[in-house]
Amino acid sequence: MAHQGAVIENLSNRKLFVILLALLGAQIVFFLVGALCSPQPSTSMEFLTTKCIDKHAGNSKEWFHLRPPKCNPIDNLEEYRPRSADMRDIVFVAQMPHPRSGHELEYSPWFQFLLGMLDVEIEYNPNIPVVPKALLELEISLAYRTKDDGPTDWHEFVSSTVQRSLECSIDPSKMHSGYLYNCSTIDLFELGANPYPFYLLNIRLPVNRTACAIDPSGPNCGIGLISDLRVIAIHQNGGFTAIWLWMKTIVSPLAILATLWYYKRVSALNRPKYLIEKAILALGVALCVMDFPLEWVTLWFRTPLMLLISDLRQGLFYTVLFSFWLVFAGEHLIDDSARNNIKNYWKNLSFILTASACLLIYDLAERGMQLSDPFFSIWSSDRGAWWAYASLYIAFACTVAYFAFLFFKVIRVWQTIKTKRSAHLHQLNEIRRLKIEAIIYRFKFLMIFTLVCAFSTIISYVMKQWGEGQLHSDEPEESFLTQSTSSFFTGTFGMWNIYVILLLSMYAPSHKHYASAQILMDENEDLMDDIGTESAPMTTFLKANTD
């Protein structure tokens, strides 16, 4: 019986060229959709809070708002004399979003998330110094209003008392009254969904003067003379969300169909699945999970879990994709005694599992806690920040070690191809030699595509983490996620789908009559023999010599 093998080995050059040309066209379309049709991923809006007088000093449940005005404003905070000993009669108010051209703008569920940062403006005063790493305590209440509510009908979303470390510095040449400290921007809140059109923030900075006299480093004791508070709100652009969701909606059925087709082909074989077949199948399932457009639910229902679910789905895909690359390279490299056994990869996979575990712990600690308290931040305490840094640094170190090892593996596979080619191909007749040459070239193309995909994945991962880090930095408006074009993200998303679907289609068994498929009886049988087998010729060709 003639060898049947995988689609990539038996497909004609003409058909393969047409398929690859179509995939290249699809990749270009993904980039163009992001470049020409989609806005930047996120945008920001800045709010200078209005300082209002609360005659009840926080003892009532009333909300202070600006449109329509319910606020007795304080023009100059330095000249204001508090009515209460703890200064709870001063309320900093931010009403989001801003009006524009006389029309009140609205947030939309299409915005997906809402991230709030706080910029504290402190005026230099030699009599009121700023303590290094001063402890800032905020009593924050966040309210929302729907379209059906009246302009004064605000409903409490969440109220919390939070503490943040305030790091400020000032140039010695500017240590004069009227100059402002340069203070780091601090995390305020993060909403994993954006279900309401209007939000209202009421913020108080209570001061216990008696406690401050005993401990000058206590909450709000060493924060200096506060001039203003600025809230920076960042949300995902609705246009980007629409493009992203429609892409996933169109691509998801293709990924599901390709995975089911591959599973049907492999399951029909009269033998157990090989490790590389299981790895490709797992990669297809992970892609289907990531592609499924679950975000449509957020347009009709309040789903604060969605941001965490999206991170977990993408994390699952990263883990399976990185694991597959090791198996893919290893199955074409290691000898027969170790091949086709996942246990022999535990040292290699430990890098991936460690990095994934660290990032999972960080994500659950940060966004998991924010489900019940949007004002929670793991960075707000020294211990929490230490654990966060430890998780991220360990994950980064494991990722670097993994990709260095993967690059080493790919080089060894390349050398194995060269050695085997020079040692065996000259012994074959011309027809068989041309067939093996074609298989080698196709495998090399797939390895190059793998390296390109790996490099782009690294860049995408680093850019995403870097961009999210910038969102929590002193200049969140300059984040890569708010300034970059969307073509990189749409192009990378398309590349992942094209790569996985190509693997599913090219590595599926190409035979039509599964009943005639034979079980591989002799793994050491050479590729050049005429005995029909179900082993991949490329794998057999690259295996170690037993002579």
348-361: per-residue pLDDT in tens? 788 888 888 888 88
Domains of the chain as residue ranges with CATH? 7-41+239-542 (1.20.1070.10), 43-236 (no CATH)
pLDDT for residue 421: 64
Q: List pLDDT tens digits, range 205-258.
A: 999 888 888 888 888 888 888 889 999 998 989 999 999 999 999 999 999 999
In sequence order, what are the beta bridge partners of 329?
Answer: none
CA–CA separation, 59 vs 320, rounded Å?
54
Residue 462: pLDDT band (50, 70, 90) is: low
Nearest to 62 by CA among 158, 161, 162, 153: 153
Q: What is the pLDDT of residue 351?
A: 81
pLDDT score for 420: 67
For residues 422 and 513, the model is more confident at 422
pLDDT of 473 strictly over 60: no
How far apart, in whole angstroms, are the C-alpha atoms of residue 231 and residue 201?
Answer: 9
Indicate whether 84 pLDDT > 70. Answer: yes
Burial class (CB in 10 A: 0-12, 13-18, 19+), 477: middle
Helix (H) / strand (E) element for 300: namely none
Q: Is 32 helix (H, G, I), strand (E, B) or coil?
A: helix
Q: For residues 74 and 50, what is the distance between their CA atoms, to the nearest angstrom?
A: 8
Can you tell me the distance from the alpha carbon of 203 to that of 205, in angstroms, rounded to the nearest whole number?
Answer: 7
pLDDT digits (tens, 9 = 90+) for 113-131: 999 999 999 998 888 888 8
- The pair of structure tokens assigned to 510 is 């190409």
Contact between 446 and 506 (Cβ < 8 Å): yes
d(CA 64, CA 71): 6
- pLDDT confidence tier of residue 515, bands split at 50, 70 and 90: very low
Q: What is the DSSP letter of 73?
A: B
Average pLDDT over residues 73-85: 84
**pLDDT at 153 exceeding the cut of 50:** yes
Identify which of 139, 142, 59, 163 has the alpha carbon closest to the alpha carbon of residue 94: 142
Give residue-wise pLDDT tens across range 319-335.
998 888 888 877 766 54
Residue 201 reports pLDDT greater than 90? yes
Residues 64 and 54 sit within 8 Å (Cβ to Cβ):
yes
Position 475 scores a pLDDT of 57
d(CA 205, CA 138): 5
- pLDDT of the residue at 332: 67
Phi, psi of 380 (to 5 degrees): -75, -15
Please name the residue that has the structure tokens 């390895």.
447
Q: What's residue 514's pLDDT?
A: 44
**pLDDT recorded at residue 360:** 86
User: How much is the pLDDT for 545?
Assistant: 40
* Mean pLDDT to the nearest integer, 46-68: 90
pLDDT, tens digit (0-9, with 9 covering 90-100), for 281-305:
999 999 999 999 999 999 888 888 8
**In the prediction, which pLDDT does 445 show?**
72
pLDDT in tens, 382-438: 777 788 788 878 887 887 788 788 888 778 877 777 776 666 655 666 666 666 666
How many secondary structure helices (H) and strands (E) does the chain include? Answer: 13, 13
Distance CA 464, CA 310 (A): 13
The answer on pLDDT for 193 being more than 80 is yes
What is the distance in angstroms between the CA of the first residue and the CA of the last residue of the chain? Answer: 26
Task: Please tell me the distance from the alpha carbon of residue 535 to that of residue 543, in angstroms, as a whole number.
Answer: 12
CA distance 420 to 545: 9
pLDDT at position 336 is: 46
| 221 neighbors 131 (Cβ within 8 angstroms) | yes
The mean pLDDT of 91-112, rounded to a whole number, is 90
Helix, coil or strand: residue 276: helix
Residue type, 197: P
